[in-house]
Amino acid sequence: MDKETFADYLKNMLTHINGYAVKIKVVTKTKNNGVQSTGLLMENSNGCSPILFIDRYYEDYMNGRALEDIVNSVTSSAELADEVKNDIDLTLIESWEKAKNYLDVRILSLDKNYDMLQNYVYMEHLDFAVIPILSFVSDDSIHTVKISNELVKMWNVSTTDVFSNAIYNSRAKKQYIARYIKDSISEYCKHSSVEIPKMIVLSNIHLMNGAASILDTFFMEEVYEEYGGPFYVLPSSIHECIAIPAYDNVNPDNLRELVKSINDDVVSKEEILSYSVYFFDGEELSIAAKGEWDNV
């Protein structure tokens, strides 16, 4: 069956098995980098309507996974989403005085998300977009909400207020981490004459949307001190970046080819941040080698 029929089948099975009081409907949503995803929207009267995306389940089905097994997994995920929506206190979103304490930042591709971003608060930095988000962290999950233009109007604050609080929280949490790695990308260096030593992964403690760590100048200065000098930054995904010391024999154009290889061969389209290579000189981040998106 095609994906549309598959989605309708799961919707009907969920309704039949669980007898949900909420209305379930099939929706298509545009996610990061313009990726279109199919999901089941569980409408709820409290204003919190989670979406269970089914793309990976359809891929499993096309690869031969039994429908009964898929239905069981989808049912478990739907029950978890049903619990989550009841755990979220919507007053944390509606009230600025409460919401500002949960603000954080993330970064994503500017070019690939430009149309979507027109409905949300964002600012341009180098060749990516910085967006404030609301981040609700529990013991076993993280829920985020992008800040829409309408939400800022409801709060009756300026975008400067939103960004100031988001950046302050992001630094105050001391959530960013730097850890050495060994040969995780060595397979992409086989045909390069450049030896790439002392790679450090830059992310956050949740390893989710951690590429925003490169916005924190204080954090980047610590990496600079660790290396004892400037370094390049490879955007390996929206979740993490890789730092490499700027030795004389390291060519940023070669690094750009490495970034392209990782993006094209390893990273899902939805999680690609950039094809460029960046450079931190101890004070600020700049573009060392501009990369261009292909039609991925």
- Which pLDDT belongs to residue 39? 85
Q: Which two tokens stand for residue 231?
A: 């370094």
Alpha-carbon distance of 12 to 3, in angstroms, equals: 14
pLDDT tens series, the chain, 296 aa: 888 988 888 888 877 765 555 678 888 888 889 888 998 887 765 556 677 888 888 898 888 888 888 888 877 776 655 555 555 566 678 889 999 999 999 999 998 999 999 999 999 999 999 999 998 876 666 778 899 999 999 999 999 999 999 999 998 888 899 988 764 454 445 544 445 568 899 999 888 899 999 999 999 999 999 999 999 999 999 999 999 998 878 889 999 998 999 899 889 999 999 999 999 999 999 999 887 766 55
> What is the model's pTM?
0.81
SS3 sequence of 92-131: HHHCHHHHHHHEEEEEEECHHHHHHHCCECCEEECCEEEE
